[in-house]
Amino acid sequence: MTTTPLRPRRPRLRLAPYLFLTPFLAAFAVFWVWPIGYSLFLSFVNTRTRPWRFDPGFNWGRLVNDSAFWDAFGNTMLILALQVPLMLALAVALAMAFDSDLLRLKGFYRFAFFAPLVLGAVPYSAVFRLIFNADFGVLNYGLGALGLPTVRWLFESTPALVTIMIALTWRWTGYNAIILLSGLQSIPRALYEAARIDGASAWQQFWGITLPLLRPVLLFTFVLSTIGTLQLFTEPWLITNTGPGGATETLVTYLYKQGFRSFNFGYASAIAYAVAITAALFSILQIRLVGGRDNG
């Protein structure tokens, strides 16, 4: 029995997949690769001169000695240290409530807590600005009705920062809870049944079963929340206008001011890469500390 030898594939057919990928690769190069590369180049350019002059140490040297940058960095780190752990703790509690057999109308509650993310950033920020208004805000009205002293939320440093944290927690807790819920639902129920038979309490089951097996998903939400906090712009800009006195200035609002108010694109590019480097370092650190341990 003879077989017909296979014909070699035509060059045109071998190129077909790349032709189909060409539109995406072209868009990726124009809208992603080129801006990222050009921004890196601008970080080494003094854009304060006319014409621009290549000066590798100008922007990065200013970055090291810029007190306004470090104030914005400190504000961002404070939000990261206080708001993110609180938000994720609440998200874990919500996810466990959503997964409980005692909860009725689970679909309704899941949507209700996820709904803040569906709202646009501008209207939600406007609502929070009204709620925390010092003169006619509903929060101060409630405090006054209870006989408690009112707070100038948007005009004092600490209350303004607390306002930003409350707004972020309100918007993102439900989103993280839904992600964590998917992790909870992947844990075998047999483990809990065996633990109950062995006499483990609910608290012991949480620490011995839920938290260890939920750790990969929790790490995922932690990394996402960290990156999101380092990119924080909308709430400080729209609710407090980065005030009072720069108390709610973040890295990205400072970047925006340098790039689109002062038109100092070189320095803004250096700040952008400082944010990216910080996000990468935090992500690597979190993965090493939390994800690098054995599950046993």
Q: Which of 268, 273, 233, 267 is nearest to 249 (CA)?
A: 233
Determine if residue 127 is left, alpha or beta; phi over 0 gives left, psi from -120 to 50 gives alpha, anything else beta: alpha
Per-residue pLDDT at 223 exceeds 70: yes
Per-residue pLDDT at 18 exceeds 90: no
State the chain's mean pLDDT as an integer: 91
pLDDT at residue number 143: 93
pLDDT at residue number 212: 93
Per-residue pLDDT at 296 exceeds 60: no
pLDDT at residue number 24: 92
How many C-beta neighbours within 10 Å does residue 211 have?
A: 12
Question: Of the ranges 146-155, 218-227, 234-243, 282-291, which one carries the lowest mean pLDDT score?
Answer: 282-291
Superfamily of domain 58-291: MetI-like (1.10.3720.10)
Per-residue pLDDT at 119 exceeds 80: yes
Domain ranges of the chain: 58-291
pLDDT at residue number 159: 96
Mean pLDDT, to the nearest integer, of 268-296? 85
Place of tokens 């990468």: 280
pLDDT at residue number 156: 95
pLDDT at residue number 103: 85
d(C-alpha 128, C-alpha 144), whole Å = 18
Q: Please give the biggest Cα pair distance in the chain.
A: 100
d(C-alpha 211, C-alpha 208), whole Å = 7
**pLDDT tens digits along 239-281:** 999 999 999 999 999 999 999 999 999 999 999 999 999 999 9
CA distances from 114 to 91, 107, 155 (A): 11, 11, 30
**pLDDT tens digits along 147-166:** 999 999 999 999 999 999 99
pLDDT at residue number 15: 80
Per-residue pLDDT at 293 exceeds 80: no
Q: Which of 254, 207, 214 is nearest to 232 (CA)?
A: 254
Tell me which H or E stretch contains 45. strand 45-46
**pLDDT tens digits along 67-111:** 999 999 999 999 999 999 999 999 999 999 999 888 888 889 999
Q: Quick check: 242 and 253 in contact, CB under 8 A?
A: yes
Place of tokens 């200035």: 249
